[in-house]
């Protein structure tokens, strides 16, 4: 068993038998810097949310989950510190794209729209305000860069690269997952404005959903009770930490020493509330 990835948040171990163990830590990153202070139980929240959504969407597309029970894992993981943050998954041949689904006019898409430019191949015929819901969600992939930043590309670029059939399958799966999960979250007071998915192929060449799914780290979650068109809605994610960093001129500073306890507590509470709202049928 060897550790093959130590990411911003996750540690991935290869069991070298077609399976992997993924441990979700309490680390948090902002502005491309892993911060020195852990956010209490953040890893458990992300893990619980992803596991909930994997189960909720398994009728749409298969996913990589095998078990979240430590008893099914090697002895090294059968310890209290791994409880609630560790999953056993099927190893996939990952597709080298992040598949972003956007349901609202926001962020870089809104910036392009304001200039009257198409956004990654998408043209908008009607007038939109910031944070307004799109008539239909759109898919805008990005390449997964080993070094440096991912590059946003058009959906057609991905289809040309992967083949029309596989590219279309990925597009349809991503939209179907987003739409089903959007309705569940909305009924529980959370708007999923946008999110990213990662897919792979199993040993039979079948499409499988992998990595994490619909967590506050991979999505833009807005509080539906505070949502208003025309502004920047309150979000359930690391925005609170990002705002604190910006306020103190520490955004992107790799030498930051620590995050204050009150900022950690508030951020942990925001993540926890997100889990509490979503993780019930």
Query: Residue 17's pLDDT is what?
Result: 94
Looking at the DSSP assignment, which residues form a beta bridge with residue 208? 62, 200
Q: In the predicted model, is pLDDT for residue 149 greater than 80?
A: no
Q: In the predicted model, is pLDDT for residue 104 greater than 60?
A: yes
DSSP code of residue 231: S
Beta strand extents in the chain (DSSP E only): 2-6, 10-14, 19-24, 29-30, 33-34, 62-63, 65-67, 86-90, 93-94, 97-104, 133-143, 151-152, 190-201, 207-210, 219-223
Q: How confident is the model at residue 250 (pLDDT cuts 50, 70, 90)?
A: very high
Q: How confident is the model at residue 93 (pLDDT cuts 50, 70, 90)?
A: very high
Q: How confident is the model at residue 152 (pLDDT cuts 50, 70, 90)?
A: very high
pTM value > 0.95: no
Q: Tell me what the mean pLDDT of segment 169-196 comes to.
A: 97
């Amino acid at each position: 068993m060897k550790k093959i990835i130590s990411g911003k948040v996750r540690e991935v171990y290869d069991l070298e038998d077609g399976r992997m163990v993924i441990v979700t830590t309490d680390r948090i990153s902002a502005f491309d810097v892993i911060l020195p202070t852990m956010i209490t139980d953040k890893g458990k929240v992300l893990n619980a949310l992803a596991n909930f959504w994997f189960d909720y969407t398994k009728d749409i597309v298969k996913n990589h989950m095998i078990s979240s029970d430590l008893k099914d894992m090697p002895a090294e993981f059968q310890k209290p510190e791994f409880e609630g943050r560790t999953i056993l998954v099927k190893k996939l041949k990952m597709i080298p794209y992040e598949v972003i689904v956007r349901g609202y006019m926001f962020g870089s898409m809104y910036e392009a729209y304001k200039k009257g430019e198409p956004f990654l191949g998408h043209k908008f015929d009607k007038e939109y305000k910031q944070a307004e819901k799109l008539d239909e969600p759109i898919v805008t992939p990005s390449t997964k860069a080993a070094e440096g930043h991912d590059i946003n590309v058009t959906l057609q670029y991905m289809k040309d690269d992967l083949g029309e059939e596989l590219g279309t399958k990925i597009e349809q799966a991503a939209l179907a997952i987003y739409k089903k999960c959007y309705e569940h979250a909305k009924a529980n007071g959370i708007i999923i404005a946008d999110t990213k998915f990662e897919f792979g192929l199993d040993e039979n060449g079948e499409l499988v959903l992998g990595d994490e799914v619909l967590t506050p780290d991979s999505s833009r979650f807005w509080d539906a009770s505070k949502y208003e068109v025309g502004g920047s809605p309150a979000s359930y994610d690391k925005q609170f930490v990002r705002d604190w960093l910006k306020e103190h001129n520490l955004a992107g500073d790799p030498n930051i020493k620590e995050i204050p306890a009150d900022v950690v507590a508030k951020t942990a509470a925001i993540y926890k509330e997100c889990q509490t709202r979503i993780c019930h049928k």
